[in-house]
Amino acid sequence: MVTRMCKAPLLLGALAACFALATAPSPAPAQEEGVRVITLDEAVSFALESDPAAVAATGAEATARAEVRQARASFFPSLSLNSAYSNSSNQRFDQATGRLVSQNYSAQLAVSYDLFAGGRRLAEQRSATADLRAAGARSRAQRVETVLATQRQFFAAAAAGELVGAAEQRLERARQQLVFAQTRLELGTATRSDLLRAELEVGNAELAVVDARSALRSARLQLGRLIGLDEEVQPAAGSLPDDAPRLPAVETLASYAERASPAAVAARSTLRARSAERWAAYTSYIPTLRATGGYDWFSFEFPPTEQSWSLRLTASVPLFNGLVRETNIARARAAEELADAQSRDAVIGARIAAEDAAREIGAAERRVQIATRAVELAQEDLRVQEERYQLGNATILDLQTSQVALAEAEVAWVRARQALASALGQLESVLGTTVPELQDALGPSDDS
């Protein structure tokens, strides 16, 4: 009896520790020493510089810009300067001077200009300008895709860090309950089966910690690769959101996506480019007029002193070229029809994607609220079961069921916040802009 009375404080202390762990919030992941910590903005900035797809899209836009400059330069004359020198071991008789010569010098300044090209240059310029807009939109779309992929991996790494914290907390609760079961067994108020079940839960909790740490290491390495580093990278603390920002109404978001989504803008620009190319194909039926001129210097001694000039007007009337023009027109018309269909589909897709992303944000926020409440209920349930177990009104199985339920609720809470962050990133990807920029442009709404 005395022994039991002496061990009663140990029992109360173990029970108090279990109570504290049951009601404690999920801890934030500790920042590990030696592992680089970055914010989301830093991760996105690094990813845009190192992602091959984003770099390729930027290069394609630069190429399209050069093609626009080339199309504009076709309205200017072509200018060239040529020179030549020749020498021979055999002399020849020059009839103009009556001399035997073996070498000569010459130079020429030539200029040419298309006086009339049937509208071809205008059509080519329109096509190049539209291609530049399409390339810019595609580059923007690729950038937001890179940003979305980076955000998802960033939030996955952040969630993995919090899951490690939840798993470690579960392990600590299991160890405290093992001490509790051992104390009760010594007091004679529990069976050996209670102790064995408590030890089994400790083993399961240790496995959960090992798995969580392995997943965390993998997520951090993948994040490092996305931002161009060959090492682990950990997100800054507090990266996962607890709620969603106020958004404009769903219909407002859908309308904005139709006109501003990178995919829709790129598709419309591509359609304009294909239309311009079709009109450029028709110009092959129209006559062209070209003027060329030059100024020449020639002599058998340096520097050349003989001078002459020339001027030529050339008109070309295309009559028949083996149906090449007809084939080009048919090809251009087919490309335009395809671009038109893709443009309509892109607009519809942007609208549907915006609506789906906006509603998914609402659903994800509701899941976070439910998961938060589930953690609170699971903490209270575990507290009650520990009290009942102390009084002998509950079994170790009831206690462990509540403990596992709390661990699962904590994991669901982390996953729900990760899903909310990904849903916000998906909406930004569809619209091609961030939520704060969207709020500045459209304003928040209570209908979101």
Cα–Cα distance for residue pair 407/403, rounded to 1 Å: 6
* pLDDT confidence of residue 28: 54
**Residue 12: band (very low, low, confident or very high) from pLDDT cuts 50, 70, 90:** very low
**Residue 98: band (very low, low, confident or very high) from pLDDT cuts 50, 70, 90:** low
CATH superfamily of 2-442: Outer membrane efflux proteins (OEP) (1.20.1600.10)
Q: Is 27's pLDDT higher than 70?
A: no
User: What is the reported pTM?
Assistant: 0.74
* pLDDT confidence of residue 414: 93
Name which residue leads in pLDDT, 441 or 5: 441
Q: Give the mean pLDDT of the chain.
A: 84
Angle between helix 192-226 and helix 40-50 axes, rounded to 10 deg: 50
* pLDDT confidence of residue 3: 45
Amino acid in the structure at residue 148? L
* pLDDT confidence of residue 311: 86
Name which residue leads in pLDDT, 140 or 222: 222
**Residue 145: band (very low, low, confident or very high) from pLDDT cuts 50, 70, 90:** confident
Q: Is 10's pLDDT higher than 50?
A: no
Cα–Cα distance for residue pair 285/283, rounded to 1 Å: 5
Name which residue leads in pLDDT, 103 or 227: 227
**Residue 448: band (very low, low, confident or very high) from pLDDT cuts 50, 70, 90:** very low
**Residue 443: band (very low, low, confident or very high) from pLDDT cuts 50, 70, 90:** low
What average pLDDT score do residues 193-209 get? Answer: 89
What average pLDDT score do residues 337-355 get? Answer: 94
What average pLDDT score do residues 141-152 get? Answer: 88
* pLDDT confidence of residue 315: 84
What average pLDDT score do residues 168-174 get? Answer: 91
* pLDDT confidence of residue 97: 61
Q: Is 196's pLDDT higher than 80?
A: yes
* pLDDT confidence of residue 412: 94
* pLDDT confidence of residue 25: 53
Instruction: Identify the burial level of 167 via C-beta atoms within 10 angstroms of its C-beta, where 0-12 means exposed, 13-18 middle and 19 or more buried.
Output: buried
Q: Is 7's pLDDT higher than 60?
A: no
* Of the ranges 8-22, 80-94, 331-345, the best mean pLDDT one: 331-345
* pLDDT confidence of residue 188: 77
Q: Is 23's pLDDT higher than 70?
A: no
**Residue 307: band (very low, low, confident or very high) from pLDDT cuts 50, 70, 90:** confident
Predicted confidence (pLDDT) per residue in 371-400, tens digit? 999 999 999 999 998 888 877 788 888 888
Name which residue leads in pLDDT, 7 or 277: 277
What average pLDDT score do residues 162-176 get? Answer: 91
Of the candidates 57, 120, 68, 139, the residue with the CA atom closest to the CA atom of residue 279: 120
Strand order from edge to edge, sheet including 78-94? 78-94, 99-116, 288-299, 306-316
What average pLDDT score do residues 429-439 get? Answer: 83
